[in-house]
Structure 1
Amino acid sequence: MKRPYYLFSSGRLKRQHNTLALEKTTGERIPDDAPGDEGLPSAAPDGPRTPFPVESVDSLFLFGEVDINSKLITFLGQQGIPAFFYDYYGNFTATIYPRESQLSGRLRVQQAQHYLSPKKRLVLARAFVEAALFNIERVIKYYQPRLSGEAQATVLATLAALVRDRSALPHTTDILTLMAVEGRIRDRYYQLWPHFLGPEVASRFPFDKRERRPPSNELNALISFGNSLCYNSVLRQIYRTALDPTVAFLHEPGDRRFSLSLDIAEIFKPLLVDRAIFRLLKTGEIGPKHFEKHLGGCYLSEAGRKIFVQHWDERLSQTVQHRTLDRKVSYERLIRLECYKLIRHLSDPAGETYQGLHMWW
């Protein structure tokens, strides 16, 4: 069974006959923005060689300083393996995206037609926002009974505002209004996080608002890192279908970005990213020692990223009983099923209108 590989070691990734191998370095990695850095490898690949069978590789997440060449890129393309690169501080930087293998000119035309039609686009954009808000509501309702006093009153007020805004979504008439509603609810939702984490954890990780570039504190660093993993996990599943990842409906399609993964990720961030953060902080698996400050920003250290990625991989493999399929499916499979639902809507919008995933557990 194929699975994603997360490589934290530095070295040279190469094709070895008809499989893959990482020749590791033993020297210390130099930060990408270190003074005097000329873009050369921090150290030669003088360590052990670690082979792994290409048949088991679904995708590669490269967190170390890894050298590659055109032969390897060609081999990854032949095998349909996307590779995602992260810099020294854990920021997502680039993707090697293989040539599409699941091509459908008909679906691509239908996807473009839905984007170009304001009415059709708005239907899908509403569905993404509605599902995202529903799943945020589920997270809030999970923690609300565990609170009391002023904390519970604050949560109930936010919950009422969320329900009101979600009920009003059918009346929105443009994408900008939808984005504004979603952004407003997320801001209020983030303000509840100290209550969800509890006084002890919140005292060690103060948090009052979302700040991205750069992340200003530990919780912002966790959100940014988790969201990047979520975007790329969605992109992996889009690649296994005939959808065009550059044509989106909620987020504006632009140059050099896979906007559709941003659309679908909105649905899954409350389930995958937010719950992972709460779990890791409340259990103490990630603590203040797992962060480092740099140029006015806060980032997960390599040790922290390893902990988060391990938990992330385990979370994607968790299963839930699917109410329609009547069998257990993994969280990762739920993302693929979301892509299939979108394809059915694009192919026959009158027959099966798209509705984003609503958490039922």
Structure 2
Amino acid sequence: MLTSLEAPDPLPARMVNEFVYCPRLFWLEHVEREFEESYDTVDGERVHRRVDQPRGTIPDDIAQMRSEASSVELASEHLGVVAKIDLVRADGGQAVPIDFKRGRAPAIPGGAYDPERVQVCIQALLLRENGYRCDLARIYYAASKTYVDIPIDEALVTQTLNAISGARVAAVAGTPPAPLIDSPKCARCSLNSICLPDETNALRRRNGETRVRAFAAPSDDRIPMYVMEPGARVGLSGERLEVRTDAGVQADARLDDITHLSLFGNVQVSSQAARALLSRDEPIFYLSYGGWLSGYARSINDHSLDLRVEQHLLARDKERSLAIAREIVFGKVKNQRTMMRRALGAKAKPALRAMAFLMHRVQHAVSADELLGFEGAAAQRYFEAFGEMLSIGTGFEVTGRNRRPPTDPVNAMLSFGYSMLAKEAVAAALAVGFEPGLGFYHRPRPGRPSLALDLMEEFRPLVVDSTVLTLVNSREIRPNHFDRRGRAIVLTTDGRRAFIAALERRLRASISHPIFGYQVTYRRALHVQARLLARAIQGDLPQYPPFTTR
């Protein structure tokens, strides 16, 4: 985070506009460098298209100006701001800045809202700093094709200078400003799913209500692309990714429909396709044929640097790390117990009592080693009962968890599924801005995405274990979907395809969020948990809330 009230770079006038509109939006966009496109932002680019190209100049004597100048960039070290003025025109011996807006002129006193008034006032002050008389600014509203005059009076100048000062303080505060409470602004905000205003207020008990507005549709049409065919090549054709083999095009998908690309084994991706994905901030994951994550490529478009600073500081603090780790393990054990209760009911009473006792012990663990012991004891109880949850025995017998290597089909599916879930958790961590290798429960180890392993713990039973149970009990997976390699049992290519298809169905299944009540997919719930973990680390939430179901 910045350590001085003197910002190293001038504040853009547009960011001061955001600060007046919503200090938290300013912090997310200016400090964390978060941005998401929406209809409003895309339409705004269309409205500005005519004035985004520099054209014309402003003469020293404004009276000699015969036309107009567009996309005029001015800055002031004294004010500490910079602005790109859409249009500058001469009017009655003074320079008049004109700012283009996509919407309709509001029917309110003054003709414009405060954020827009402050933005054009900054433009006027910059023109004054450069020696021009400027007592008037204008806003052009494209939807109503209306110009609104904004007088640059002392009251507006004072309001603007206070806004600049407030934005500077917010930029170096180190923690995000509090979200707005039940504001209609949030519903149309493109950063709603990043900001999580209602969720944060509910967890901080600031709004006094239990209703939390859904931040987006529960389903997400954008999904990962998996390429497993040995020797396949992923290339770019226009705005589509194509998967080719020697037999020709085997599959294709629109770039805008893909969240990330997963390549298994000896699959190649062209430089053009890689650049197209990375330019959209979509990562590329490289996995072995068996599903082990070997590495990933990500965009250089870094954001959330302050978050990573706080992540490193917290990871060095044993007490604060343990507090988060306790919540993570509690969520996992509770979800394991829920799976047992749903599948076995009264038959599992002794195991359920033991799991409830371990949940209590987890919440009061005094060290990371003790917490690890409680988690291990819960896992032993859970996996001893896992075989009883399977309705089909022949070929799918299991007496507990084994790995490295898995020696039966059920454990082979569990291992493969956890690898796929770890990849999803890495994608969520990257989207939020975390360092995936620096965890709080799983301690850092070279080559291990420790934070991603932390994030996925609560979702192991609900996503992967549930997928395994569904595949076996519905007979979608069969013994011929597995091979034996030495002591190890592994999924065949067809088996991996069947498993991934079932896992994707589970990740895209819509559920009622256990804390907030709205409909959300498991994949989006994982991303929400990553956001909530970030908010807890940055002091925006008092503690991390685990994801648990009833």
User: Normalising to structure 1: TM-score of the pair?
Assistant: 0.85
The alpha-carbon distance between structure 1 residues 347 and 311, as it changes in their structure 2 partners (threshold 3 A), is same
1:171 maps to a residue whose letter is: H
- Hey, what does 2:310 align to over in structure 1? 110
In 2, distance between residues paired with 1:234 and 1:168? Answer: 27
- Hey, what does 2:543 align to over in structure 1? 353
In 1, distance between residues paired with 2:445 and 2:274? Answer: 25
Give aligned-pair identity as a percent. 25
In 2, distance between residues paired with 1:175 and 1:69? Answer: 44
In 1, distance between residues paired with 2:306 and 2:439? Answer: 17
Pair 1:214-2:214 in alignment: no
**Aligned match for 2:495, one of 296, 304, 311:** 304
Q: How does 1:53-202 map to 2 (within 5 A)?
A: 53-63=254-264, 65-88=266-289, 90-99=290-299, 101=301, 103-145=303-345, 152=347, 155-198=348-391, 201-202=392-393
- Hey, what does 2:52 align to over in structure 1? none
1:318 maps to a residue whose letter is: A
Helix, strand or coil: the match of 2:261?
Answer: strand
Deviation at 1:68, TM superposition (A): 2.8
In 2, distance between residues paired with 1:300 and 1:246? Answer: 28
1:170 maps to a residue whose letter is: Q
Helix, strand or coil: the match of 1:22?
Answer: strand
Deviation at 1:50, TM superposition (A): 4.1
Pair 1:8-2:249 in alignment: no
Pair 1:277-2:468 in alignment: yes
1:92 maps to a residue whose letter is: W
Higher RCO (C-alpha 8 Å, min separation 6): 1
In 2, distance between residues paired with 1:239 and 1:211? Answer: 30
Deviations 1:3-59 (A, max 9, x none): 111223342112334542222134xxxxxxxxxxxxxxxxxxxx3364422121111
- Hey, what does 1:36 align to over in structure 2? none
**Aligned match for 1:233, one of 410, 414, 424:** 424
Deviations 1:151-176 (A, max 9, x none): x2xx3222222111111123312112
Deviation at 1:63, TM superposition (A): 3.4
Helix, strand or coil: the match of 1:202?
Answer: coil
The alpha-carbon distance between structure 1 residues 110 and 64, as it changes in their structure 2 partners (threshold 3 A), is closer
Pair 1:290-2:493 in alignment: no
Contact kept in structure 2, 1:102 and 1:241, CA below 8 Å: no
Q: How does 1:326-345 map to 2 (within 5 A)?
A: 326-345=517-536
The alpha-carbon distance between structure 1 residues 293 and 49, as it changes in their structure 2 partners (threshold 3 A), is closer
In 2, distance between residues paired with 1:257 and 1:78? Answer: 26
Deviation at 1:225, TM superposition (A): 0.7
The alpha-carbon distance between structure 1 residues 50 and 189, as it changes in their structure 2 partners (threshold 3 A), is closer
- Hey, what does 1:33 align to over in structure 2? none
Deviations 1:152-206 (A, max 9, x none): 2xx32222221111111233121122112112211221111121113xx224212
Deviation at 1:326, TM superposition (A): 4.1
Query: In terms of Rg, which structure is larger?
Result: 2
1:233 maps to a residue whose letter is: E
Contact kept in structure 2, 1:126 and 1:178, CA below 8 Å: yes
In 2, distance between residues paired with 1:357 and 1:299? Answer: 31
Deviation at 1:271, TM superposition (A): 0.2
Deviates more, 1:93-102 or 1:339-348: 93-102
Deviation at 1:73, TM superposition (A): 3.4
In 1, distance between residues paired with 2:533 and 2:424? Answer: 17
Structure 2 segments unaligned to the other structure (5+ residues)? 1-220
